[in-house]
Structure 1
Amino acid sequence: MATCDFDMCFTFISTGWEGSAHDTRVFLHALNTKEMNFPKPPEGKYYLVDKGYPDRKGYLVPYPKIRYHKDQYKNVPPTNSRESFNRAHSSLRSCIERSFGVLKKRWKILRQMPQFSTKTQIDVIMATFALHNYIRRNSPNDLMFNMLDQNPDYMPCEELPDVNDFRNTENSRVASKEMQVIRDNIASLIWDTE
């Protein structure tokens, strides 16, 4: 699991999980394990997350069962506030997809990790993320980042697959309602300005 800022720098990563681990399981572990020091969003701010993550306070998911991806709006613009919200959410969330795209394109070892020990694999992953951030912050002439900066629609790799919808638990329903209200308010603002 990884988080990134809109500058395409990774701000948190959780490594060591098997590929079949569900996003929600990895997320909840990071959130509930104090030693991981997961950067929780401050009051009034939130992470944009995909539908594989829980709908809870501080984590803004798209509307379910509503058009989402930018290419779905190419020929038919949004027809309501929820579609406008999902289109904007998708556009902003593409930052993480683009960040992972650059990471995987630059560090081919991540696409097919050799049979190293788990500890070595984790070290390799951590090093590639650190180098990614270092290059982003310190190499203004980097070809990959320049291409992304000049072409906001360019994706260096195919879009990451969606995971199944997360079913709300009893504990997350109250926070979920609060985030639904925030999402509805943002959707109305976006719709009113179009």
Structure 2
Amino acid sequence: MADFDIPNARRPRQFRRIDRFTETDDPEEIRRRFRCTPDSIDRIERLIGHRLERPTGRNQPLTPRQQILITLRFFVSGNFLQLIGDTFGVDIATVSRVVTTVTDELCDLKDQTIKFPTTDRHKSIIKQNFFKIAGFPSVIAAIDGTHVRIIVPHEHEEQYVNRKHYHSVNVQATCDHRGVFTSINATWPGSTHDAHVFRTSVLSDYLEAHHHGLEDGIVLGDSAYPCRKFLMTPYLHPGSPQQQMFNDAHAKTRNVIERAFGVLKRRFHVLHGEVRMKPGKVTKIILACVVLHNLAKAWGEREAFPEEEDPQPPPLVQLEGNPDGQAIRDAITANYFR
């Protein structure tokens, strides 16, 4: 055997930075990196950690906590999986498997964490708190849609192009007065109109079947939705001071869902940029982030987030043909200054 021929030996896996983040004495460092306090990470581990344990003969397998930290870091930063792997000292295939597994386990918590108000007591509490905002009566939820940008999908590509001309998943959600999400629908491509998403939803069927009067509660939506007995929208052309007051109170009250989306995307930057995965996986990531958002609300996590050290620039607009300077300027204005 030549002196440079050595038997194949498996190199032990080395986790360069995972443990450094959890062993630091500075909880703000952990919170900045994972958008969770150490106590909340402990709670997440207690919820799903036992389901992340896998029997394996490999050397130094990933612990449930390490899997959770890798996934949280991906959600928080929105970085490429390769960069996440480089951060934690694992290969990209491992990161991909871990993110998929932890995301699935978080999605399984949806029925425990995302609940629309159905009992009289629950509705009464929400109505009272919504009324305190601007005097709008009998509100049990605010509804709106937002778009999560995705890479160009291989199938049905044209269906994912939204009205702002980029590919996305249309996410529709309701929330209560606290900004806790009470329903989520993230299965429709970006070209789908908000009204259609709602009309074909389980939520619409539920409200249609259970709403018998104002006392059952109403949902507030913007003018993209039809005005229904259980879904109040603003007047398009208010013709009296009273109608204008209705619109003003409606806007102030409904604004809670816009704030909730804002907090969600600031907490999990993966939803703010471009998710580089297939639409089916993007749907699960959105749902997992909403589950974590609601848990953070329940556990009293702060919603002011420190700036990242390595913020990611938004994806560049793809322009067809050979546009001139004015066309490029208009495209930049339309896509980055709105």
Shorter-chain TM-score: what band? Answer: 0.5 to 0.7
Q: Cα deviation per residue 1:85-112 (whole Å; 9 max; x = unaligned)?
A: 1100000000001001101111110122
Is the Cα contact below 8 Å between 2:264 and 2:289 reproduced in 1?
yes
CA–CA separation in structure 1 for the residues paired with 2:269 and 2:207: 28
Amino acid at match of 2:302: D
Is the Cα contact below 8 Å between 2:263 and 2:303 reproduced in 1?
no
1:61 maps to what in 2?
A: 233
Matched, 1:96 2:257: yes
1:85 maps to what in 2?
A: 246
1:21 maps to what in 2?
A: 192
CA–CA separation in structure 1 for the residues paired with 2:253 and 2:204: 28
Aligned pair partner of 1:3 in 159, 174, 188: 174
Alpha-carbon distance change, 84 to 33 in structure 1, aligned in 2, over 3 angstroms: closer
Choose between structure 1 and 2: higher strand proportion: 2
Q: Cα deviation per residue 1:30-71 (whole Å; 9 max; x = unaligned)?
A: 05886xxx566643211011110011110011111239xxxx
Report which of the two structures shows the higher radius of gyration computed on alpha carbons: 2
Matched, 1:52 2:224: yes
CA–CA separation in structure 2 for the residues paired with 1:97 and 1:33: 20
Q: Normalising by the residue count of structure 2, what TM-score does the alignment of the two structures yield? A: 0.36
Aligned pair partner of 2:278 in 117, 122, 132: 117
CA shift for structure 1 position 137: 1.2
Partner SS state of residue 16, structure 1: strand
User: Gaps (5+ residues) in structure 1?
Assistant: 68-78, 146-194
Amino acid at match of 1:56: R
Moved runs in structure 1, 4+ residues, more than 3 A?
A: 31-34, 38-43
1:172 maps to what in 2?
A: none
Q: Normalising by the residue count of structure 1, what TM-score does the alignment of the two structures yield? A: 0.60
Identity %: 33
Partner SS state of residue 14, structure 1: strand
Q: Cα deviation per residue 1:136-191 (whole Å; 9 max; x = unaligned)?
A: 1112x51439xxxxxxxxxxxxxxxxxxxxxxxxxxxxxxxxxxxxxxxxxxxxxx
Amino acid at match of 2:194: D
CA shift for structure 1 position 113: 3.3
The alignment's C-alpha RMSD in Å is: 2.4
Count residues in correspondence: 130
Amino acid at match of 1:49: G
CA–CA separation in structure 1 for the residues paired with 2:291 and 2:283: 12
1:138 maps to what in 2?
A: 299
Alpha-carbon distance change, 133 to 84 in structure 1, aligned in 2, over 3 angstroms: same
User: Gaps (5+ residues) in structure 2?
Assistant: 1-171, 306-338
Higher relative contact order (CA 8 A, sep 6+): 1
